[in-house]
Each structure stands twice: as structure tokens, then as C-alpha cells.
A and B are shown apart, each in its own frame.
Chain A
């Protein structure tokens, strides 16, 4: 149980809340409910929350699955430095954003969900978690291809010797006369 990173769940919860705020806001605005301007606010607030929460932060251990296309949004989020890295800031921000939407029934669900996300972020911040962008690692080729370059033995040589044999790395490539310490008979599978 000690391995839980609350920020990851807070992130999912906040993203869902953003979507719910947008949906509720659309219903209130399109239906021209009473005080529908709260609905318009809710759409804007929800969109902001979605943008902020879309890039997933890096896990403490192991690799992290990125959300589709999050690189571009992550670049923008990174720009705000400590404002987006620190989870106390996010907790407070989400709490403040959620309040106006609480005045309308259509968006109150978004308020409750975003407030819950804010509480989880607070918990994450207390535990010292931070939002760190996912670094893209250079792609490693799988080991089968990771073989040292073939030695440059001078020709002529029989075709069987052209297959890669790791032992041949020991053989100096400096143009010495060809000496095969190992009798080459069959191919290695």
C-alpha cells in the first residue's frame, strides 16, 4: 500500500471532472437554464482543467505510459515551472475553480468531482509528490541487433565466415594475416 502515488489518481479524477464540467456547462448553456452564465463559466473552467491535467506526470519508479499526443500540451504545462509542478498549487486552483460551478445543478457534479480531486492532490502534496514531465528515452534497439560491428577481415574468405560470430571480435582487425583460432564448420543458430 505504501507505493501509491495519489497524484496519479488525482490526475485521472481531475481530468474526468474537467470533462463533466464541460458537459454540464454545455447542457446548461444550450438549454438556457436559469443562471446559465454559470454554465458558460463551467465550460471554460472545465477546458482549462482538462488542458492542465491531460499530460500525465512521470511515475516515481518504472516507465510511464503517455496519453496520446500529450507531448505538446506537456511542453506548455512545463513552462509554468513550479506553478504546475507543485501539487499544493493545483489543489488550491482546483478548489477555487470548482466553487462557481456549484451554483448550478447542471454543473454541481463537476464541482463535487473537482473538489474531490483537489483533496487527493492535497494528500499527494503532503506526501511530497511532484509533477515531472515524462522524458522520452532514446529508443534502444533490442539486444539481438546490438552487436559489435563485424571485424574487417581481408578477403578472400569462405561464405560461412561472413556470419556474425561474437568470438571474432577478439580477432584483431588491423590487417593482420587471417588466423582463425576456432575451426569454422557449421553456422551458429
Chain B
């Protein structure tokens, strides 16, 4: 726990500040309605009134989810509070006991002071349901909340992982939600006493003598009320404008022409597309969204870029993993001329850009998760070729964990040429890679054992032998820690959650408490 805090103190600080601001705003608004004088009579009917404010601030996925949870919690509080309010307004309207609450509720019937009502329930016949569905606040509230609930249920992890389009399209209900949110206060149903009325008949002075308000010789007049102006649109107008701007920008960017320069079919159903687009520039490990209108007009799918920024094209490797990808691979397999048109949106940044900041880097890719590292290794190759002395990296440990041998081949060329490159430059120890084959059986292992003394690995043709089974991370980390006792080591993973947990634990365990000694920092790619 202490280790985690040390590694994540900045995020924790931001979170604490944000939560603190939310709490402050809530308390401030609450106290306003609880204590301030213009709401004295409002409180009389309602007891107390809750009004909550929330600010949508979208920054990244985790923060987005946090905001969503906060919205849900505050929505629940808001609804419950207003349920009580409506019930009390309703009861006061029905009450014939001549109490202050019932007098206040009957204000709208005064011809002399008509138009200045406090209780939205204007007649005893109105039920709570009736007022809800005939008032702007009630209607927008119900519709907005239903939209919110639909968004939340379709955004559950299970649905997101397995039925992504359902999540994606349902999530656009946010448009309905924000519209309802903006319009929610326009009915000005929450009312407080006007300033003039307060000057004339302040509640502290007049509340007790409410039976005498009508008498022409009393000093107090019946109070005048006005509704609060709508507030929520002020909070959301800036983010909404920013969002609209971003969507327009992405739309324009995606309309630019994409030229496909090369198509390669690799074994194990992996398709490589090399493309160019005017004005496109990327960094290592970034990803793009790809759309193929001939397959689907609405679907955009993310793919990590496997090319290096130094190359004059950008490429993606697509593996068959669902109906869209299978259709794409089939479309290109059939050698149609012209080739199917592709639209590209991006690139978008990921954490791989940090990899060059560390002296020692541990890169772990599971299966197709190796793709961001393909980009990184290629980039390093180009930097070496150009003798770029700005490279901070002294050593790379690259772990590729894979189930089947076919998936190796498209990466093979890169690894072989990197091997040769390192030998030529005399930097044999710079890149240490371990390849782990987790889907082995006794046939493969037998074959490997038979060819044990060959110089190159039989599966990959690389000098480094393939390991079988999963890596033992404790051993790996302790070896690295002993080899680099004073370095900052960046650990980068693109792979499944269980592996992430494992690696994170090892990072915390093998990071020394002394900040001058070896430190492991864990970074995970998130898709």
C-alpha cells in the first residue's frame, strides 16, 4: 500500500482535490438552501431542500468512470430529496388546518398577489404524478434519468467487453441526458422570496403573524416569490462546446484520403496494411481508429500502429478476432481492384511514448499485445541507424508471450534484423528478449530438445532460444534488480489484466524503498 501511494501520489492528489471541490460545492449549496433567508418560506413547506451540482469533466477513461459514478450517486440523492419535497408540497396543498404551510400553498389564489406562488401544486386535485409529468423539471428529470440508467447498464464491463457496439451506440444517449440536464431548471420550480418582498416583509419579522397578512393594518404583506434561474447549463456549456469541437475535428480528419501502399497477408490470419495520409504524423505506440465503409458504415475500430515514426508510411497489423476484422481480411484476401477504401482517425497517444525516458525498460507483450512494442523496437532500430545520441535507454528487456508459433512470423523479420543490427554495432547486450511459448505440447518441446544444440532456434530462426511456458516473474525481476541496482526501470505491459496484476505486484516488491536505488514503474496499455 505504501509502495502504491508512492507510485501514484500525483493521481491521488488530483483525485483528492476534485472530490474536495465536489464536497465543498455540495455543502455550500446545501447550506444556502438550509440557512439563507430568501428560502425561509420554502423551508417552511419542505423542511429542507437538497440541490446538488455536478460538473462533468471528462479527462480519461478512469476519471470518466469516476465522474459517472458520482453522477449516479448525486442523481440518486437528488431524486430522493425531490421525492420528499413533492410529497410535502402535495400534503401542504391538501392541508386545511390554516397552518403557515397551508397559507403559503394557497398564495396563488390571492387575486391581489396572483402570480407569486410558492407551491407548484396549485390545486388540491393535482397528484404528485400529474405535477411531475406536466412540469419541465419533472419531465426532463424522468427522461434524463432513464437515459442515464440505460447508459450505465449498457456500460457495464461485461457488456463493454463482449458487445461493444451496443455500449457505443447506447452511450450516445448522453445527448438526451445533457439536453434534459440543461433544460431541467427552466421551469423555475424552486422558488425563494424576492428581495423587495424581503425588505417589506422579512420572514423573521412576519412569519409568526401569518394569519394577519391579509389585514390592511398589519405591517406584513404576503411574501412574493420568484423562481431560481436555471444553473446547470452554465456548468456544462464549456465542456459541451469543447466536445462538439472535437467531434467535428475528428470527422474532418477522418475524411482525408488514405492511400494503401502495401498489403501483406501473414500466417495465422494476420493482415498488415501499410498506408499513407497527408499530414499524418505519429509517435511510437500510438493507435488509430479505422473504418471500412464497404464493411460497415458506422463502425470504427482501434488498432495500434506497428510502424515507427521514422518510416514514410504507417502500418497496422489486424488479427481476425470478430466479424468486422474477419470481413476486412477476407476483403483484402480476394484481391479486389480497387482495394476497399479505408478511413483513418487519429493518431491517439498512449503511454508508450514514455518508454524512451527510462534508462532500463522492461517490455512485456502478450500475443497480439506485442504491437506497440513492434513500433518501439523499430523506432529504436532507426535511431541506432542514424546514431541518435539522445536515446536514454541503456538496456531493454523484451518479453513476448505467445500461444502459437504462427503468430511469430510477421514479427520475425524485425527481430532477425534487430539481432543482426545489434551484432554489427557491437551492442549485443542492448536488447535482451525472451520469447515464451505458452501453447506448447510435447511434440514441439521434443522437437526443440532434439535441435537443442543448433545455433538458431528452430521455431523462429533467432539466436535467442524460445522458452516454453510462462515466465517466472520473480526470477526475472530479481535478476534485473541485481543487474541495475541504481536505475529507474520502466515496466510496460500490453496484455491481460491478470498479468498486469502480477507485474504490478512484482514492481512494488522489487522497487527499493530507497529512492536512489532501483525503482520499477509500472505502465499498462489500456484498450
Contact = CB atoms under 8 A, between A and B. Distances in A.
A140 B517 CA distance: 41
Interface string A104-142: 111011001100100000000000000000000000001
B87 A9 contact: no
B158 A34 contact: no
A182 B163 CA distance: 53
Contact of B442 (A12, A56, A169, A182): A169
A189 B163 CA distance: 42
B27 interface: no
B416 interface: no
B86 A56 contact: no
A8 B159 contact: yes
Please list the 9 inter-chain residue pairs (A to B) with the smallest Cβ-Cβ separation, ordered nearest first. Answer: A144-B469, A12-B153, A166-B442, A13-B153, A105-B128, A166-B446, A33-B87, A166-B445, A4-B163
A8 B153 contact: no
Contact of A16 (B87, B152, B449): B152
A189 B450 CA distance: 13
Given A144-B468, A167-B446, A105 B158 contact: no
A20 interface: yes
A27 B80 CA distance: 7
Interface of B: 76, 79-80, 83-84, 86-87, 90-91, 128-129, 132, 142, 145-146, 149-150, 152-154, 156, 158-159, 162-163, 165-166, 296, 299, 322-323, 438-442, 445-446, 449-450, 452, 465, 467-470
Interface in A1-41: 1-5, 8-9, 12-13, 15-16, 20, 23-24, 27-28, 31, 33-34
B449 A109 contact: no
A59 interface: yes
Contact of A142 (B149, B158, B450, B470): B470
A143 B441 contact: yes
A56 B158 contact: yes
A61 to B, nearest CB: 9
A148 interface: yes
B158 A12 contact: yes
B159 A3 contact: no
Contact of B440 (A24, A116, A143, A189): A143
Nearest to B131: A105
Contacts of B86: 105
Given A8-B162, A8-B163, A34 B154 contact: no
Contacts of A12: 153-154, 156, 158-159
A9 B166 contact: yes
Nearest to B130: A105
A143 B159 contact: no
A25 to B, nearest CB: 12
B154 A9 contact: yes
A108 to B, nearest CB: 7
A3 B323 contact: yes
A108 B158 contact: no
B80 A3 contact: no
A108 B79 CA distance: 12
Contacts of B80: 23, 27
